[in-house]
Structures are given as C-alpha cells and as structure tokens.
Amino acid sequence: MSPAEAQGRWLGVLARAEAEALKEFVEGLLPALEPYGLEVLENRTGLVMLPATDTARGTRFLVGEVLVAEARVRLGGSEGYAACLGRDLEQALAIAILDAALQEGLEAGRIRAYVEQEAARQAEADAELARQVAATRVEMETF
C-alpha cells in the first residue's frame, strides 16, 4: 500500500470514528506530541457539494451542499488535514492531529493500533447493518 493509500485509509476510518472516543484518545496523546510544536493552521466549518452517481445512467451529479468541519495543523515537519460531516470542530482537529502525527512517525504504534481497532469496530457495525438489511429483502418471484 502506498503512503497516499495508507493515509486515505486511516483518514476514512477516523472520519467515521465515534467523536467523543476519538477526542479522548487524542487528548491522551497530546502530552507526547507537545515537544514537536503543534500549530493549528485552520479550524473552521464550511459547505461542500455532495456528489452522487445516477445508477441507471452512471452519470455523476451534485445532490446539494453538506456542512463539514475541517482542520489543518502542523506538527514537527508535517501538516495534517481532516474534514468530517457536521460542525464538530474538535473532531476535525483531533483527526488532523492524528494525520500529522502518523505522517511524522510520532506515536505511530499507538495511533495505528487505535485505527485498526476502530476499523474492526466499523467493519462489524457494517456487517450487522448488512444482515439487518438482508433480513428485509423481498424475493419478488415468491409473490
């Protein structure tokens, strides 16, 4: 997996993480990251266009605007970025801090373990949702 693919994976997992648990985890990391000079460059909300694909024709279109919180930080020599749905600026800031820390190689073992644990939790939640949806499936041939 390339560094860009790895970064995309961990950012995807962190964006779906439960916000309070994520913020608590980052709060525990801050003392170890403090010597590297954490600097908040941006922390704001904004609107972005939500794209979708027409399943019949395969064409892309814009559904409308969604509110996102975004953050950009500098830690050591790396910049971290995050954008997540909603207006939780602390959540976006926490993800950006983890992004910068992973790029810089700081506390990487602890952060990767957290990301893997969160990815497993999300996979289980997705599988449970798929089971619930499958239970409601109607076979039209049996009607």
Residue 96 lies in a domain: yes
Residues 6+ apart with CB under 8 A from 69: 43, 44, 45, 83, 84, 86, 87, 88, 89, 91, 92
Domain span at residue 91? 3-138
pTM of structure: 0.85
CA 81/CA 40 separation, integer angstroms? 10
Q: Please name the helix (run of DSSP H) or strand (run of DSSP E) that holds residue 79, with its range, or none.
A: strand 78-85
Q: What is the mean pLDDT of residues 94-102?
A: 96
* 141 against 105, higher pLDDT: 105
Q: Is the residue at 143 inside a domain?
A: no
Q: What share of the chain is helix, strand, coil (3-state, %, to 5)?
A: 55, 25, 15
Identify the pLDDT of residue 143: 57
pLDDT of 6 above 70: yes
Specify the number of domains making up the chain: 1
Residue 38: is its pLDDT beyond 70?
yes
What pLDDT is attached to residue 140? 75
